[in-house]
A = this chain, B = another copy of it.
Amino acid sequence: MNGLMMNLPLQVSSLLVHAERHHGEQQIVSRRCEGDLHRYGYRELAQRSRQLAQALQRLGVRSGERVATLAWNGHRHLELYYAVSGSGAVLHTLNPRLHPDQLGWIVDDAEDRVLCFDLSFLPLVQAVAPRLTGVRQFVLMTDRSHMPAPDALPGLLCFEELLAAEDGDYDWPLLDEQQASSLCYTSGTTGHPKGVLYSHRSTLLHTLAAALPDALDCRARDCVLPVVPMFHVNAWGLPYIACMVGAKLVLPGPALDGASLYELFEREGVTLSAGVPTVWQGLLAHVQAQGLRFSTMRRTVIGGSACPPAMLRAFQEQFDVAVVHAWGMTEMSPIGTVSQFKHAPADADERYALQAKQGRVVFGVDMKVVDAAGRELPWDGRSSGELLVRGHWVLARYLKGEDSPLHEGWFPTGDVAHIDAEGFMQITDRAKDVIKSGGEWIGSIDLENIAVAHPQVAMAACIAARHPKWDERPLLVVVRKPGATLTRDELLAFFEGKVAKWWTPDDVLFVDAIPLGATGKMQKNKLRELYGDHLLGRPPGA
């Protein structure tokens, strides 16, 4: 016996239709590659997205075909989000920080048919274009006056000219909610990148749940600035959430340095932001150096990598900005857990201890930690094991994946974590980064957090170095702050009393820079290639 309610599909275009009807005047502000600050309302976003959908149709894009983007956070990228998915095609956001070879491989693997890109990426596209086999059209996301000479890229189309040829008299098609809406590739550290194909249904359910009070807590009165790129798991869903709740949206374009971001935060009255820890380091450094304050920002979501406790404290104590620590992955659309309190913390220590955890699940996903035999571990805040997840917006299969990655219906995240009695999860390591010392596990993230809390440390990575006696031992790779004189022994002494003695790193290597991957994460696999044999031949550690 079925219910007798209206059965409307969950589809991406309905977010835009809602925003146009109910938040038509709400503003979207974009810093563009052309250098200006562009400003319009959701009504104009909807109108231009319909024109763009018509233009794509005219270019011959069919339902299910992939349209790729190489673009910063900006209004034209947002129009592509809605025009491509809304019309039944699949939006494929490419990460411009990838190596051109890898980028080319991904475009071909995804069978992208149209590639739209920002001015900044013309040289990159020029380098990649000759090897692409499936792209029919290249579209530069700018107006006629910024178009390059005709020989820059043969047949290059102009985004604004395509739009100008259409009237926007277009009805969004009714879609099957299981249809694919967008595609992201994971920047895997081994093997080829793999495609994660979201559906309209998974996207809409993620949008609803991610906006909840105990998740990102978004409402019409918010002004949201996603620093996290729209090419990085759909900017954690914020371009969809903003439409759903009618929030003001500020898109920072290519200018992600501390000074540019701060100016935008203050000028536009940003209340909520989101990004990876490395971006916040630049912003914090700028604001601290200039003695500035945030006059409207009250919350910032930090995810992508574990947020160092020192950063939590700096935001809270120096700037009265609450850090909302979140965890997810490309395979999870991406939101899995958010560290929102269940009770008001008793004091600052409890507050920071809770905030340092990645948090508890949003309704719609579930998680568990299991031991090597796959048995569920207790929720005691200590028992670490591999973290498995399931839910409405969790991957079932990779694009072109022959084999299901699931274990009895659960997706193995590759993270090592524990869960406490209240359901707060804490990542202790990536499974591949954990240090296996004499049969015991040492979490590299804990050691990194201690190192970066030292006032003379700018960045620190802890890697598993091969060891003749213990198999692996922790090795610290550290970037000192400018002018710092910190020595190996001073830094190792800093660990005393903070961890068990056998967890203390065996050695410290000072380097000029730690390589960052395309999503801003430290590339510890590269460090292992460089320094993995550093301890061999040394006398056994403690």
Contact = CB atoms under 8 A, between A and B. Distances in A.
Interface of A: 1-8, 10, 15, 17-18, 21-23, 25-26, 63-64, 90, 176, 178-181, 196-202, 205, 208-209, 211-214, 217-221, 244-246, 333, 340-344, 360-361, 363-364, 366, 390-399, 401, 409, 411, 421-423
Contacts of A409: 6
Copy number in the complex reads 2
Contacts of A244: 363
A64 B363 CA distance: 26
Given A1-B64, A208-B212, A212-B245, 10 more contacts: A1-B63, A2-B178, A3-B197, A10-B392, A22-B423, A208-B209, A211-B213, A212-B219, A213-B245, A219-B340
Nearest to A197: B4
A180 B4 CA distance: 8
Contact of A7 (B63, B214, B343, B396): B396
A220 B340 contact: yes
10 contacts: A3-B200, A5-B197, A5-B201, A6-B392, A7-B396, A8-B391, A21-B423, A22-B361, A220-B340, A246-B342
Contacts of A22: 360-361, 423
A231 to B, nearest CB: 19
A4 B342 CA distance: 33
Contact of A3 (B5, B7, B199): B199
Given A7-B396, A398-B4, A218 B208 contact: no
Contacts of A198: 3, 5
A438 to B, nearest CB: 35
Contact of A394 (B6, B15, B397): B6
A202 B5 contact: yes
B217 A179 contact: no
A472 B3 CA distance: 41
Nearest to A196: B4
Contacts of A221: 341-344
A246 to B, nearest CB: 7
A239 to B, nearest CB: 15
A395 B214 contact: no
A219 to B, nearest CB: 4
Contacts of A399: 4
Given A5-B198, A6-B396, A21-B366, A218 B213 contact: yes
A340 B22 CA distance: 13
Nearest to A422: B25
B199 A2 contact: yes
Contact of A18 (B63, B363, B394, B398): B363
Contacts of A391: 6, 8
A213 B180 CA distance: 28
A245 B218 CA distance: 15
B245 A395 contact: no
Nearest to A201: B3
Which of A4, A180, A212 gathers the greatest number of chain B CB atoms within 10 Å? A4
A3 to B, nearest CB: 3
B212 A220 contact: no
Nearest to A22: B423
Give 5 closest A-B pairs by Cβ, nearest first. Answer: A3-B199, A1-B64, A213-B219, A5-B202, A22-B423
Contacts of A6: 390-396, 409, 411
A463 B309 CA distance: 65
A304 to B, nearest CB: 20
B214 A212 contact: no
Contacts of A341: 220-221
A89 to B, nearest CB: 9
B178 A3 contact: yes
Which of A8, A23, A63, A422 gathers the greatest number of chain B CB atoms within 10 Å? A8
B1 A363 contact: no
Contacts of A422: 25
Which of A5, A22, A344, A360 gathers the greatest number of chain B CB atoms within 10 Å? A5
A73 to B, nearest CB: 22
Contacts of A10: 205, 392
Which of A18, A197, A212 gathers the greatest number of chain B CB atoms within 10 Å? A212
Given A245-B363, A360-B22, A3 B213 contact: no
A200 B7 CA distance: 12
B342 A220 contact: yes
Nearest to A206: B5
A213 B299 CA distance: 15
